Amino acid sequence: MSDAAASDIVELVKIKPSAVLCLASGDTPRLTCQMFVQKVKNEKLDISQLTFIGLDEWVNIPPGNEGSCHYFFRNELINPLSIPEKQIHLFDAMSDKLQDECRKMDAVILEKGGIDLMIVGIGMNGHIGFNEPGVSFDNYSHVIDLDETTLSVGQKYFKSKVSLQKGITLGLKHLQESKKVLLLANGKKKAEVIKKTVEENLTHSFPASIMQKHTHGIVMIDEEAASLLTQNK
């Protein structure tokens, strides 16, 4: 799964060197990032025109905190590939003007001609980025109160307990407008949410179900995450 996703990024860069790539952080895309880094190095791929957008961030968590999305992107992608700052767009979740951060991100995406490839994970409550259950499908970037599940599951990224409350995230309108979306999920624990994503109703209360509407939306999963799908039986 990770290799296929990393290959998709490589293919995109080959076809469109000035592509706009949006990536989630979290456990799921870690190996994809590592494999992408390896492929770029092996194939001496030119990524100097690529624009990189970070999907989301925990509000009030500093970029140096190992649980922040910033930290993930720096560690897994930006530093290993020495990507210059001008190619990187991450939310500054420490800003006291979060609305400005949202509008800035929306403007960058618009100015660059939209997102070519979005690679997202899925939360245990069906969230994508921090598009929590009940969120509108028509939002661009926004700040949101985090759902109970996100608050408790989210602690796994932090060495010591942190106070999480809000997230800043691209919206599901961005996802719908992206030229291609890959939703990645692996492991038994994601089987239930994958079933809901692809086989149950399209509903605001389960944001990942929006994938059903995307004309170029691909759910890329391993066998364990696919284990509850009826077509799998």
Is 68 a binding residue for ligand GLP by CB under 6 A? The answer is no
**Binding window for ligand GLP (CB under 6 A); candidates: 21-29, 38-46, 76-84, 222-230:** 21-29
**Residue 229 Cβ, how far from ligand GLP at the closest point, in Å?**
19
Under the binding rule (CB under 6 A), the answer on residue 73 touching ligand GLP is: no
Q: Does 26 bind ligand GLP (CB under 6 A)?
A: yes
Residue 154 makes contact with ligand GLP by CB under 6 A: yes
**Distance, CA of 116 to CA of 231 (rounded, Å):** 30
Give the shortest CB-37-to-ligand GLP separation in angstroms: 18
* Of 8, 56, 76, 116, the one binding ligand GLP by CB under 6 A: 56
Enumerate the active-site residues.
56, 125, 127, 132
Supply 36's token pair: 């992408």
For residue 100, the one-letter residue type is D
**Which listed residue (27, 100, 145, 199) binds ligand GLP by CB under 6 A?**
27
Q: Give 223's Cβ-side CA count (13 Å radius).
A: 1
Q: What is the dihedral of CA 109, 113, 119, 122, to 10 degrees?
A: 50
150 binds ligand GLP (CB under 6 A): yes
Distance separating alpha carbons of residues 92 and 230, to the nearest angstrom: 42
Position among 21, 23, 24, 105 found at the interface with ligand GLP (CB under 6 A): 24
Under DSSP, is residue 57 helix (H, G, I), strand (E, B) or coil?
strand
Rounded to an integer, what is the distance from CA 22 to the centroid of its chain? 7
Q: Is 178 in the site for ligand GLP (CB under 6 A)?
A: no
199 touches ligand GLP (CB under 6 A): no
Query: Site residues (CB under 6 A) for ligand GLP?
Result: 24, 26-28, 55-56, 120-123, 129-130, 150, 154
